[in-house]
Amino acid sequence: MPAPRNVYIAVVGVGGVGKAFISQLEALSQRLSHRRPPINISLILVSRSSQILLSESYRSLSFSTWESDLASSKQPVLPIPDLVEYLATAPEKAILVDNTSNQNVADCYPQFLRRGISIVTPNKKGFSSDFALWQDVFAAAANGSGSGGYIFHESSVGAGLPVLSTLKELVETGDEVARIEGVFSGTMSFLFNSFMPVGGGGGQFSAEVKKAKELGYTEPDPRDDLNGLDVARKLTILARLAGLEVESPTSFPVQSLIPKELESCSSGDEFLSRLPEFDGEMDKLKEEAAREGKVVRFVGSIDVAKKDVKVGLEKFDASHPIAALKGSDNIISFYTKRYGSNPLIVQGAGAGGEVTAMGVTGDLIKVLQLLH
């Protein structure tokens, strides 16, 4: 009988997504231990920005006590080069699970990959920052043009929805992607579905932003959602996968919904308290759309042939799939040669710890299948 394989996992970032991932990893490791031949998963490192818990012997940490063990750990936090070295010297293959949104970690992906360490991550910054970093990552990765570790980032767009894998398959099977369009932010989806529901109604824009924040749909400072940059990062990733050399998320038009006068507010609370002063502008947009029998939504679109990428407010007929979205769902439409005028649509929850972690776990399974 073939000997069991051992795989060593390091998890950086243990907030909502990280916790959900470790819980899913525990269940996965139990299933894999009963496979023939078995795969033994060892969780050897968990860390947050100020604390780390690592196994110096590479024996697995406890799935049941990792949280309290991390909270009481006095181990010094590893600088990134030391983390690369620690994983590169594991007894067998190591995988880095980066659940942060940290640019410094993302900048070092090529170093990990070149040492044979695979990466799975929802961190958009490794794939939407300078085009040079994107090139370096895939020049090093075994699923790029390199011979290092593998890298997958399904959850960087649409949480657990199969958005990137769908686009990759369209491209790799030779379909011609003409246009990609959709609602890419759970926050913006919730906000505009509440502000201007199909059939009329909805509150004032500032009240809906406040409600979205209270329900946990926005960042602590809602300006981090309203500036459109989160959506721009997702569009950058999709455009690059579709073959466009987009330089960065600020290299194309992105409409910010932050009134100029409020950009310099010192806090999110100050911003929210002053936002009602500007409700008139959004009310005007709403009335204009209603007169045309349409609704306003915050969308991203990529015209592949024209190499045109943009993010901002657009009007849609009430019968359009984008208008009919509910809650905080995402919807992404792929218009291609094969699918003609009826796009291939991916729709569902595009945010949340469990579904984002599911995308990360799915990517981990892909890596495990590739690591013979």
Phi, psi of 180 (to 5 degrees): -125, 135
Token digits of residue 109: 């992906």
Q: How crowded is residue 91: how many other Cβ atoms within 10 Å of its Cβ? A: 10
Beta bridge partners of residue 141, listed in sequence order = none
Do residues 125 and 233 touch, judged by C-beta distance below 8 A?
yes
Residue spans of alpha helices (H) in the chain: 16-33, 66-71, 80-88, 103-107, 109-114, 125-128, 131-140, 163-172, 186-195, 205-214, 223-226, 229-241, 268-274, 279-291, 353-370
310 is catalytic: no
Phi, psi of 157 (to 5 degrees): -135, 120
Among residues 19, 93, 234, 286, the one annotated as catalytic is 234
For 11, residues 6+ apart whose C-beta sits below 8 A from its C-beta are 18, 21, 22, 25, 43, 45, 46, 47, 97, 99
- Report helix, strand or coil for 42: strand
Phi, psi of 210 (to 5 degrees): -60, -45
Distances (CA, A) of 157 to 77, 128, 135, 281, 333: 29, 11, 19, 30, 13
Report the candidate in 3, 2, 16, 9 with the shortest Cα–Cα distance to residue 367. Answer: 9
Any idea which residues carry the catalytic annotation?
234
